[in-house]
Chain A
Amino acid sequence: MVGVDREDGAGGLDLALVAHLSRLARLGLTDAEMAAILPQLRAILAAVGRLQEADVSGVDATAQVGGLYDVMRDDQVEPGLSAGEALANAPSHEAGLLRVPAIQ
């Protein structure tokens, strides 16, 4: 596993990794934007590195608070949106379908 690099404190975050994150998250960052965001992210990660000091041995993870379980609905059909309403906010559609550029 790639751990948190203790020397580095910022998980080894570099430009190549920022480019990877930009692609994964479809952020489309330009080279200049990546260069600008890298030190900011590194500073945040260094601060967040504080987490590594906490003693969490034997502690369960909390994904949600409130302690709810088994919240379900009955299998019933309810009215939804008309096709017109569904498409009303779409920047491009054709014959009732959403139109997207070439997938390639």
Chain B
Amino acid sequence: MAELEAVIGLEVHAQLLTRSKMFCGCRAEYLGLPPNSNTCPTCLGLPGALPVINRRAVEMTIRTALALGCRIPEFSKFDRKNYFYPDLPKGYQISQYDLPLSLGGHLEFEVGGERRSCGVTRVHLEEDAGTLHHAGEIHTAKFSLVDLNRAGVPLMEIVGEPDLRSPREAPHYLRALRQLLLHLGVNDGNMEQGSLRCDANISLRPRGQREFGVKVEVKNMNSFRSLQAALEFEFRRQTAVIESGDRVHQETRGWSEAEQGTFSQRSKEEAQDYRYFPEPDLPPLRVSRELVEELRAGLPEPPLRLKDRLRDQHGLSEEQAALLTERLQDAEYFQAMVASGAPPRAAANWQIGPLQALCKESALAIEHSPVPAAELAALVRMVEAGEVSGTSGREVLAEAFALGRSPVELIRERGLIQVSDAEQMEAWVELAIQQLPKAASDFQSGNDRALGPLVGAVRKASGGVANPDLASRLLRERLGRGGE
């Protein structure tokens, strides 16, 4: 039998970062609120209540679609998707069926440095459901508890084409999509808390065959790792089914993190009949070309292009450029440092290294760093010019970060500007040689490792302000190894 190939497509749901819900004035931010305290007649599905479309949610969806190269049809509408579930208060979800806000785009992403492209069927807008709680597993619990704080939060669905060919590709596609959403500022990218969710369709076929095999939908993956693990599991499972001569059943399966396996949830025979029809409570949308062009003009540079540009323009490594473009705000901070005169590679190192570490420690996004880009740039410039040592620089940055002070001011106050004055330095060098005569003679006789303590002694004699590079040069000269 020919080798089997996977055909994979992802459906991604992203909650939009609006202030209010999709069709009512309740808050879109629902985490941490007491249960059922963020509802109104509309999102509670009370009799008589009506929806009203949130303009910003529509605009965010169109922006995302444009960033994915989608077409924005002039006419779009909402439809009702009818099914009963306790987290769906109205007994239908307002979604989009045959006339979504956008159609036909693609997403570029990288797998191990190699660039790929995956088609995007459509990006449409709908509303999120509430949340269910139960003791233990949903199907064995005696009862369930419903919280409707999340019901009605704007949810954008990005339907990918079945263009992925291996489980390994899937997380890369999802990472690139997440990055795009972060750059657009439309989603917070939090998979663990479910503001970004991913379902996958996977079928197998003999390599070289054009027709698709029988498709299985896999749900419940809440990390990049579990997405790949679930698809790898399905690949193995379906391979075994096919190799044993059986046929794969069309069904929906759920990924269990605990069991590291997928389990059948619903077969095609019991598939829902959602009875979509146009939402009579909402007039259709006519998306003006002016609005489309206005939104297009406001799009940020695509993340991959931004990465390439930072790498090439500033001589960064691929890895540095990737790290600096994870979020748009990271790239903006970096570019602001460069604009303030920091040498780009040093700026990248300082941002990715000490600054990121400090931000992470205090759980701050870089754009909220107490040390703004211009001030860090000033510090980097001083270090690069040898006016401050790298070590003191890092210490000062930490202090400035903690106190919300300017690092350069701290350096001035503490007299940490490195001394490079020759006469002064020579005096400290003499002192160091007197203090460590053994090290001096060892170094003279070729033991390189003896230089370190000597430089340390110079620094100590200077109270930390001696320029270490200059100190070691002067020590070499003074001990007769200046030519090396």
Decide whether A and B are members of one complex: yes
Q: Give the residue name and chain of the A residue nearest to B282 (CB).
A: A71
0/1 per residue, B42-67, Cβ < 8 Å to A? 01100000001111111000000000
Specify which chain A residues have a CB less than 8 angstroms from the CB of B273 in the assembled complex: 24
CA distance A99 to B282 in the complex (A): 31
Q: A75-B54, A86-B36, A103-B139 are in contact. Are A64 and B147 (CB under 8 A)?
A: no
A103 to chain B, nearest CB (A): 5
Which of the candidate stretches B18-26, B169-177, B350-358 sits at the interface with the other chain?
A: B18-26
Q: Pick from A64, A77, A78, A86: contact of B37, CB below 8 A.
A: A86
A56 to chain B, nearest CB (A): 17
Query: Which residues of B246-263 are within 8 A (CB) of A?
Result: none
A71 to chain B, nearest CB (A): 5
Specify which chain B residues have a CB less than 8 angstroms from the CB of A96 in the assembled complex: 34-37, 147
0/1 per residue, A90-104, Cβ < 8 Å to B? 000011111111111
B26 to chain A, nearest CB (A): 5
0/1 per residue, A22-58, Cβ < 8 Å to B? 0010100000000000000000000000000000000
Instruction: Report if B280 contacts A (CB, 8 A).
Output: yes
CA distance A64 to B283 in the complex (A): 7
> Does the CB pair A70–B145 fall under 8 Å?
no
> Does the CB pair A70–B286 fall under 8 Å?
yes
Instruction: Report if B38 contacts A (CB, 8 A).
Output: yes
Specify which chain B residues have a CB less than 8 angstroms from the CB of A80 in the assembled complex: 24-26, 38-40, 43
B418 to chain A, nearest CB (A): 52
Specify which chain B residues have a CB less than 8 angstroms from the CB of A70 in the assembled complex: 283, 285-286
Q: Give the residue name and chain of the A residue nearest to B133 (CB).
A: A97
Specify which chain A residues have a CB less than 8 angstroms from the CB of B286 in the assembled complex: 69-70
> Does the CB pair A81–B144 fall under 8 Å?
no
Instruction: Report if B146 contacts A (CB, 8 A).
Output: yes
0/1 per residue, B65-107, Cβ < 8 Å to A? 0000000000001000000101000000000000000000000
Which residues of B does A touch, CB under 8 Å?
18-20, 24-27, 34-41, 43-44, 52-58, 77, 84, 86, 132-134, 138-139, 141-148, 273, 275, 277-278, 280, 282-286
- List 17 extra interface pairs beyond A86-B39, A101-B144, CB under 8 A: A64-B284, A72-B54, A72-B55, A72-B58, A76-B19, A77-B25, A77-B27, A80-B24, A80-B39, A83-B36, A96-B37, A99-B146, A100-B146, A101-B142, A101-B143, A103-B86, A103-B134
27 A-B contacts (beta carbon < 8 Å): A64-B278, A70-B283, A70-B286, A73-B53, A73-B55, A75-B57, A77-B25, A81-B41, A83-B37, A86-B37, A86-B39, A95-B35, A95-B145, A96-B35, A97-B133, A97-B146, A98-B86, A98-B145, A98-B146, A99-B144, A99-B146, A100-B146, A101-B142, A101-B144, A102-B142, A103-B138, A104-B139
Which residues of A does B touch, CB under 8 Å?
24, 26, 63-64, 66, 68-83, 86-87, 94-104
